[in-house]
Chains A and B, each alone.
Chain A
Amino acid sequence: MSGIIGKKIGMTSVFGAEGKYIPCTVILAGPCVVTQLRTKENDGYEAVQLAFEDKKDKHTPNAMKGHFKKTNTTPKRKVVEFREFPEQPALGSEVKVDLFVEGEYVNVVGTSKGKGFQGVVRRHHFSGVGGQTHGQHNRLRAPGSLGASSDPSRVLKGMRAAGHMGASRIKIQNLEVLKVVPEQNLLIIKGSVPGHNGSFVIVEK
């Protein structure tokens, strides 16, 4: 799947054909540098490695400095591999936002906002305990029973419980590209995209 690395800028809304608001996300997509081409002979698979957003030399480990030096680029913050580019880009060339066209559908991968330690009502949409009356007083949002008793004498694996929520890799599929602004490397996508403003996202074609 070909794609590009970007940065979520923020959300806004635009007017659609019927004068209705369409919520949309602005993504600063690229330009990305091709830093390595994975080949079947060398690596066992074919892929294109893209790097996005400059960072300072002093924040780069020597190993990565050498890696970026091979293609004569400045050190980059985010490096991602993509498989199956429609036409293989040359090593050291730039992949820009004009990869996308208006009206096509893309998948966006990002790291969702962290929610911390959450109970089952928030995390798994349990309904909690129905009412506050009939003697019930302190377990409104409790998970209830975890399973049967002496058989199996344990909690089954995969039982939904309270725990850390969010901050995980999420892919949103089939988001429409509303507009491509090549001068500013902007991609305007219908709907929302996982993550905080300013976080990295991967836009897949």
Chain B
Amino acid sequence: MDLVKIAQESFIQKRETPVFKAGDTVTVYYKIIEGNKERIQQYQGVVLQRKGSGLTETFTVRKISNGVGVERIFPTQSPKIDKIVVDKRGIVRRARIFYLRNISGKKARIEEKRS
């Protein structure tokens, strides 16, 4: 077996991460340390992609903030992430939806998955 994977597993802290993929709208609760105080910042947006595996897996969240597109990349296993909440499940046809960067307004809507 891949020894790097085994090495990574010895560091992974088991915790629940919800199942989500590109096109889903998520809220990331991210711990921010200011001086010696800690607070939790929320960041809500559409997941553009998930990348990598194991400890080094990341996901990109895009949101429109004051008319400007903002993208943030979070390491999925980061201890700074308090929790991830999936708000909406979207229907998209690909695993990486970078086309979303080039469209705006009504075109940038993502159809919601109804269960």
Contact A28 B55 (CB under 8 A): no
Most chain A CB within 10 A, of B3, B7, B55, B77, is at: B7
* Contact between chains at A19 and B8 (CB < 8 Å): no
Contact across chains for A28 and B3 when beta carbons are under 8 A apart? yes
Alpha-carbon gap, A202 to B3, bound state (A):
18
Q: Which of B1-47 contact A (CB under 8 A)?
A: 3-4, 6-8, 10-11, 31, 33
Restricting to A176-202, which residues have a CB under 8 Å from any CB of B?
179, 181, 184, 186, 188
Interface size on B, residues (CB 8 A): 17
| B80 touching A9, Cβ below 8 Å | no
Partner of B7, one of A12, A15, A19, A21: A12
User: A181's contact among B10, B75, B80, by CB below 8 Å, is which?
Assistant: B10
Which A residues are in CB contact (< 8 Å) with B6?
A: 181, 184, 186
A186 contacts B56, C-beta separation under 8 Å: no
Interface size on A, residues (CB 8 A): 17
Give CA–CA (A98, B3) in the complex, Å: 17
Q: Which residue of A lies closest to B3 (CB)?
A: A9
Q: How far is the CB of A52 from chain B (nearest CB, A)?
A: 15
Complex CA gap A68/B103 in Å reads 69
- The answer to whether B4 and A10 have CB atoms under 8 Å apart is yes
Q: What is the minimal beta-carbon distance from A28 to any residue of chain B, in angstroms?
A: 6
Contact: B4 with A26, CB < 8 Å?
yes
- In the bound complex, how far is the Cα of B62 from the Cα of A78, in angstroms? 51
Q: Is the CB of A88 closer than 8 A to any CB of chain B?
A: no
Interchain CB contact (< 8 A) of A13 among B10, B31, B55, B80: B55
A184 (CB) vs chain B CBs: closest residue:
B6
New A-B pairs, 12, CB < 8 Å, besides A15-B79, A21-B75:
A9-B7, A10-B3, A11-B4, A13-B56, A15-B55, A18-B33, A19-B31, A179-B7, A184-B3, A186-B6, A186-B7, A188-B11
Seen from chain B, the residues whose Cβ lies within 8 Å of a Cβ on chain A are 3-4, 6-8, 10-11, 31, 33, 54-56, 75, 77-80
Binding site for B on A (CB under 8 A): 9-15, 18-19, 21, 26, 28, 179, 181, 184, 186, 188
Q: List 23 A-B contacts (CB under 8 A).
A: A9-B4, A12-B4, A12-B8, A12-B54, A13-B56, A15-B55, A15-B75, A15-B77, A15-B78, A15-B79, A19-B31, A19-B78, A19-B79, A21-B75, A26-B4, A26-B7, A179-B7, A179-B11, A181-B7, A181-B10, A184-B6, A186-B10, A188-B10
Query: Across chains A and B, which 4 residue pairs bring their CB atoms closest together, nearest first?
Result: A19-B80, A26-B7, A14-B11, A19-B79
